[in-house]
């Protein structure tokens, strides 16, 4: 029920309250699960019909198709314990001379992965105030990583990847923040007991 | 939608609660609530928070047909009546 209520846009707040109250009747009748499942289905069907719902879908899409996969790629490199296979695949120059730089590269990858996960969390919560410094840090680390990979490992094409992904991500987040500012405030219509 | 409107038209002046409508019509909550939302948006159904019959319980959201909702049900009943008559004559 909590998920169903959360999925309903603010303009349907009154209906979310109505569902919650009727859930008690369904529970007393021994059918809470089917009632809650139906409410969740109804709430999900409502999502694309309202600007707020479309915004939520866009936030989830950006998070699940760009930010989380980017973090996942970084985490998979970290989990492998070495970026060498990845660097070899990208035809980077790895020799005894630049091998000592690998721990520094791993540290940068760890920082970027952590920041990406935080960006994902803040995006889903529409916490734009916290996203500004986190996004700026993410951009700084991505740029550092790009320069580092390009200079130390001579992998110019690979070096462009983190900066490009983070730049696209931040541009999309800026658009989302603008959209969020235009969303209508929560609607009226709550029960008389002020729930 | 017709099933729900028919159920609501049986007691046009009375307020109906969501879970009672589910039991009466056999619709699931996933069907009932989108229908009620749409019908309220279209002005066919009105809703209000009603004080509970039993003290200490929360207020419940209740529904009934508006005048235009009731008129739509009556018009549909007339159309169905004519269709039934034609079928019996054929």
Axis-axis angle for helices A128-153, A102-124 (nearest 10) = 160
Looking at residue A79, what is its pLDDT? 85
Decide if pLDDT at A92 tops 90: no
Q: Inform me whether the C-beta atom of residue A17 falls under 8 Å from chain B C-beta atoms.
A: yes
Enumerate the residues of chain B whose CB falls inside 8 A of the CB of residue A22.
17-19, 29, 60-61
Q: Inform me whether the C-beta atom of residue A11 falls under 8 Å from chain B C-beta atoms.
A: no
Q: Across the interface, do A38 and B29 touch by the CB < 8 Å criterion?
A: yes
- In terms of pLDDT, which residue wins out, B76 or B68? B68
Model pTM score: 0.65
Q: Inform me whether the C-beta atom of residue B55 falls under 8 Å from chain A C-beta atoms.
A: no
Q: Average pLDDT of A101-130?
A: 92
Q: Average pLDDT of A65-74?
A: 92
The dihedral over CA atoms of A176, A114, A6, A168, expressed in degrees to the nearest 10, equals: 20
Looking at residue A187, what is its pLDDT? 46
Q: Across the interface, do A39 and B31 touch by the CB < 8 Å criterion?
A: no
Decide if pLDDT at A93 tops 80: no
pLDDT over 90 for what percent of chain A?
47
> How far apart are the CA of B39 and the nearest CA of chain A, in angstroms?
13
Residue B70 burial by Cβ neighbours in a 10 Å radius (0-12, 13-18, 19+): middle
Decide if pLDDT at A175 tops 90: yes
> How far apart are the CA of B46 and the nearest CA of chain A, in angstroms?
13
Q: Across the interface, do B37 and A37 touch by the CB < 8 Å criterion?
A: no
Name the average pLDDT for chain A: 86
What is the rounded distance in angstroms from the CA atom of residue B86 to the CA atom of residue B90?
6
Q: Inform me whether the C-beta atom of residue B38 falls under 8 Å from chain A C-beta atoms.
A: no
What is the rounded distance in angstroms from the CA atom of residue A179 to the CA atom of residue A36?
31
Least confident of A18-22, B48-52, B54-58: B54-58
| CA A39 vs CA A102, A104, A190, B15: distances in Å | 52, 50, 18, 21
- The dihedrals phi and psi of B62, each to the nearest 5 degrees, come to -125, 155
User: ipTM strictly over 0.90?
Assistant: no
Looking at residue A193, what is its pLDDT? 52
Decide if pLDDT at B87 tops 80: no
Decide if pLDDT at A195 tops 90: no
Q: Inform me whether the C-beta atom of residue B29 falls under 8 Å from chain A C-beta atoms.
A: yes
Query: What does the angle CA A166 – CA A162 – CA A157 come to, to the nearest 5 degrees?
Result: 135
> How far apart are the CA of B82 and the nearest CA of chain A, in angstroms?
35
Q: Which of B18, B31, B49 comes nearest A191 by C-beta?
A: B49
Q: Average pLDDT of A135-155?
A: 90
């Amino acid at each position: 029920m909590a998920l169903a209520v959360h999925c309903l846009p603010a303009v349907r707040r009154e209906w979310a309250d109505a569902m919650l109250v009727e859930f008690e009747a369904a529970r007393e009748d021994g059918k809470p699960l089917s009632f809650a499942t139906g409410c969740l289905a109804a709430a999900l069907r409502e999502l694309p019909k309202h600007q707020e719902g479309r915004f939520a879908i866009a936030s989830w899409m950006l998070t699940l198709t760009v930010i989380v996969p980017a973090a996942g790629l970084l985490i998979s490199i970290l989990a492998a314990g070495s970026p060498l296979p990845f660097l070899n695949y990208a035809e980077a120059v790895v020799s005894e001379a630049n091998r000592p730089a690998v721990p520094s590269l791993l540290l940068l990858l760890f920082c970027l992965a952590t920041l990406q996960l935080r960006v994902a969390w803040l995006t889903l919560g529409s916490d734009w105030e916290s996203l500004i410094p986190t996004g700026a840090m993410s951009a700084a680390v991505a740029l550092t990583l790009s320069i580092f990979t390009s200079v130390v490992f001579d992998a110019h094409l690979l070096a462009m990847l983190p900066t490009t992904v983070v730049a696209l991500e931040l541009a999309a987040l800026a658009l989302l923040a603008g959209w969020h500012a235009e969303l209508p405030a929560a609607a009226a219509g709550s029960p008389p007991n002020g729930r | 939608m017709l099933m729900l409107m028919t159920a609501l038209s049986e007691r046009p002046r009375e307020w109906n609660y969501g879970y009672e409508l589910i039991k009466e019509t056999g619709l699931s909550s996933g069907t009932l609530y989108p229908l009620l939302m749409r019908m309220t948006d279209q002005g066919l159904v009105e809703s209000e928070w009603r004080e509970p019959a039993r003290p200490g319980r929360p207020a419940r959201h209740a529904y009934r047909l508006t005048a235009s909702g009731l008129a739509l049900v009556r018009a549909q009943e007339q159309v169905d009546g004519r269709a039934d008559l034609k079928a019996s004559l054929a």
